[in-house]
Amino acid sequence: MTARPLAVLLPPRPEPTAPRLLAQTWLLAALVLALCAGTAWAQAVAQQTGRPGALAIMLRWAPLITSGFLLNVMVSVLAMALGTLLGLPLGLSLIARTRPLRLLGWGMTQFFRNVPWLVLLFYIMFLLPFELHLGGLVLPVPAWFKAVIGLALPVSANVAEIVRGGMQSIPEPQWSAADSLAFTRWQTISRIILPQALRRMLPPWMNLYAILTMATTLISVIGIQDGLTLTRAAIAAESRPELMVPMYIFLLLLFFAYCYPIARLTLALERRVQVRI
Amino acid sequence: MAHELGSPVVVVRDVEKRFGNYTVLREVSLTVRRGETVCIIGPSGSGKSTLLRCINGLVPISSGSITVGGREVADAKLDVRALRRDVGIVFQQYNLFPHRTALDNVMMAPVIVLHQNPAEVRARAEALLAKVGLADKMASYPGELSGGQQQRVAIARSLAMNPKVMLFDEVTAALDPETKKEVLITIQALAAEGMTCILVTHEMGFARRVADHVYFTDGGVIVEHGTPEAIFSAPTQARTRDFLDKIL
Ligand SMILES: Nc1ncnc2c1ncn2[C@@H]1O[C@H](COP(=O)(O)OP(=O)(O)OP(=O)(O)O)[C@@H](O)[C@H]1O
Ligand SMILES: [Mg+2]
């Protein structure tokens, strides 16, 4: 016999947020430090060899790298929007009452959640034509558009799981109560279950978005001029190895500055959800 | 409580309910007439909740027949939503919709399910909430209300559908004595107005006061039934006497 007290009598466990936040702050500090050190080192190398200063070069390339980064952001926003649009019905199909629909949804969700994103991207690249013929109209299909679709697929599968989990976290009596008031299943889902589940779905959804944003650097592999591609181009153009460290760190910082507030907000929301429920 | 008793509203005949091999209800028969208040008493696990859930089609019966206003619950072609519009049910745990205000909770079903005019529904919902003593709590969310207040909102929510019969499943079991009283008074007023009610309750004094007819169930069968006077003062079955001795 173990003398452990009953689980229900234990006080709620303190959340592990404090160490996580601290770690993130340290990471930020380390990155900034590395950027400064890297630039200083490159500056020093430049002075020894009498070539233009590293700082000047960094400043010259910063706008281009930033514009590439903004492409990453755009692709992430569009992929998230499309993925959410597709993921919502996919998530609903996971709790459908008709078995074939449920199986289809399950199959799609499992498939897109368990294949590498990069492979999917390659697939979509080759699968989609580079131009669309609509009647007499010829529409070019830009690479970034294909990237959005390629990334939206795994996102939709993950959104579907978030939707399913959120809906299943709503206690069964809510369904019975709606049933006994003669709500249809769709009325129950749209008016009773989903509105309550949304609050719980928001933190994991934002978490997914942060992950997606970082994963958008994958699109550089398929030849899109994103932040990573342009950073590498800049490094190649300068052909100065000592610039590699500060340049990459600059790109990392851009991503960090974008994703860190999202992570903070997610944590804050998570905490609020826990308090309210 | 003496009413002019009308035609049968709920007729339960030889109902059996099994969960797998486990029989929860066996040869259960009862009739509830219009305006009648029927109380079902009995020990925990005797199948009282299951019986109520069978009446509004939340749980399918295994055999036998239940009709509500002439509509057969066991009918394969049953329009279960039409049945549920006629049957209000209030649960022990209120089960209000926590994301909507008290007023919205009462308004939702008539507006969404019955497609009634929102302005008219609002007027009716406000009147219902006033009637259960919550005129000042319409804009409150369920989380801001006491158990007794939530339960009264739940009663108003069911009444807003204008049901033919109201089912109450131990609606005061989770409440403290003080708030219990508010809810019991509400139900008593409802019964006095002529609403047809089926009450599962452990409040023997209340059952005795409001019931026209009392059923005692044990182990899934109706052991004995009769007027409150007969059941509480002169039970004929030993099991009924044992049960009443234990809890009174
Ligand atoms: N969905 C279910 N599946 C299997 N068994 C069930 C189910 N619902 C109820 N039961 C069983 O049926 C029996 C009767 O349950 P029910 O809730 O109707 O009893 P009750 O008389 O309402 O009891 P209480 O007074 O405790 O509320 C219990 O033994 C219960 O375990
Ligand atoms: Mg019960």
pLDDT in tens, chain B (248 residues): 444 568 999 999 999 999 999 999 999 999 999 999 999 999 999 999 999 999 999 999 999 999 999 999 989 899 999 999 999 999 999 999 999 999 999 999 999 999 999 999 999 999 999 999 999 999 999 999 999 999 999 999 999 999 999 999 999 988 888 889 889 999 999 999 999 999 999 999 999 999 999 999 999 999 999 999 999 998 999 999 999 988 87
Prediction pTM value: 0.83
Please report residues of B whose CB lies closer than 8 A to that of A176: 58, 91, 95
**Closest ligand by atom to B218 CA:** 1
Question: Which chain A residue has the Cα nearest residue B79?
Answer: A182
Q: So what's the ipTM on this one?
A: 0.91
Residues A39-71 pLDDT 10s:
777 777 777 776 777 778 888 899 999 999 999
Query: pLDDT grade, residue A17 (50/70/90)?
Result: low
Answer positive or negative: Cα dihedral of B234, B240, B244, B245.
positive
Q: Is the pLDDT confidence value at A4 over 70? A: no
Which among B84, B96, B98 has CB closest to A182?
B84
Which residues in chain A (161-180) have CB-CB distances under 8 A to chain B? 173-174, 176-180
Bridge partner residues of B13 (DSSP) = B65
What is the spatial distance between Cα B34 and Cα B10, in angstroms, rounded to a whole number?
9
Search chain A and give the residue with CA nearest B111.
A183
Q: Which atom of ligand 1 is nearest to the CA of B170?
A: 27
CATH architecture of B8-247: 3-Layer(aba) Sandwich (3.40)
Domain boundaries, chain B: 8-247
- Which domains occur in chain A, in start order? 53-276 (1.10.3720.10)
Ligand 2 centroid–CA B215 distance in Å is 15
B98 Rama sector, left if φ>0, alpha if ψ -120 to 50, beta otherwise: alpha
Nearest ligand by distance to the CA of B91? 2
Query: Confidence band (pLDDT; 50, 70, 90) for A83?
Result: very high
> At A124, phi and psi to the nearest 5?
-65, -35
In order, the DSSP letters of B37-100 are: EEEEE--TTSSHHHHHHHHTTSS--SEEEEEETTEETT-TT--HHHHHHHEEEE-TT----TTS
Which of B56, B93, B113 faces A183 most closely, judged by CB atoms? B113
pLDDT digits (tens, 9 = 90+) for A25-45: 787 788 788 878 877 777 777
Q: Could you tell me if B215 and B52 are in contact, meaning their C-beta atoms sit under 8 angstroms apart?
A: no
Work out the average pLDDT over A176-187.
95
